[in-house]
């Protein structure tokens, strides 16, 4: 994520009060760590549990969570089963503030991938973030990202989203 912000600073086009970068992508390998950026874990879990999420009992190849997107006109979240054992996700975001909104989106969709993987007995893989227009407000140019990489584990078997609470996790 830090490298992505540096890329915006280096290659972004000045437009009004922001730097804009169009058409880029980055990824996190969630099997190694959970990206917690500029927010706390309990807040991310609370945001997910606000939604009523229905998911299939199995995923044969691709499944899109149409009803979950934080902003359905600008975001989609797609799941993919790799080698019949690893669940990966792709976030597509049309427009997003790289410092104030993107870290929360990454955290929420990453945790959602963990939860679905757990319920369907898949390993957690990568999450790929594909961006349309990403911008960094000039007032945020010198701010630091608070990046924590957690070794997240789900320690209690949960069958439905509503079963998840903070005590289900070790981090």
Helices (H) and strands (E) in the chain, counts: 3, 10
Give the tens place of pLDDT for each residue, 114-152. Answer: 998 998 899 999 999 999 999 999 999 998 887 778 888
Q: Is 5 exposed, middle or buried (0-12, 13-18, 19+ CB in 10 A)?
A: buried
pLDDT exceeds 70 at position 52: no
Domains and CATH numbers, the chain: 2-170 (3.30.572.10)
* pLDDT single digits (tens) 85-109: 999 999 999 999 999 889 888 988 8
Please list the helix, strand and coil fractions of the chain in percent, rounded to the nearest 5, in that order. Answer: 25, 40, 35
Separation between Cα atoms, residue 64 and residue 80, nearest integer Å: 9
What predicted TM-score, i.e. pTM, was given to this entire model? 0.85
Please give the pLDDT value at position 167: 92
How many angstroms separate the CA atoms of 39 and 41, rounded?
Answer: 7
The CA distances from residue 76 to 18, 109, 147, in Å, are 24, 10, 24
How far is C-alpha 160 from the geometric centre of its chain's CA atoms? Answer: 20
**50 CB-near residues (< 8 Å, 6+ apart):** none
Provide the terminal-to-terminal Cα distance of the chain, rounded to the nearest Å: 20
């Amino acid at each position: 994520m830090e490298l992505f912000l540096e890329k915006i600073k280096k290659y972004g086009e000045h437009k009004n009060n922001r730097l804009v970068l169009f058409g880029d992508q980055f990824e996190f390998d969630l099997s190694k760590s959970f990206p917690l950026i500029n927010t706390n874990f309990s807040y991310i879990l609370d945001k997910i549990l606000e939604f009523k999420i229905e998911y299939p009992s199995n995923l044969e190849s691709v499944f899109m969570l149409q009803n979950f997107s934080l902003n359905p006109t600008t975001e989609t979240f797609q799941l993919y089963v790799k080698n019949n054992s690893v669940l990966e996700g792709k976030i597509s975001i049309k427009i997003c503030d790289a410092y104030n909104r993107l870290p929360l989106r990454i955290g929420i969709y990453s945790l959602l991938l963990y939860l679905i993987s757990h319920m369907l007995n898949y390993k957690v893989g990568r999450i790929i973030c594909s961006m349309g227009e990403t911008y960094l407000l000039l007032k945020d140019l010198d701010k630091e990202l608070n990046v924590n990489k957690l070794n997240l584990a789900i320690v209690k078997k949960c069958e439905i989203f509503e079963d998840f609470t903070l005590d289900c996790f070790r981090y």
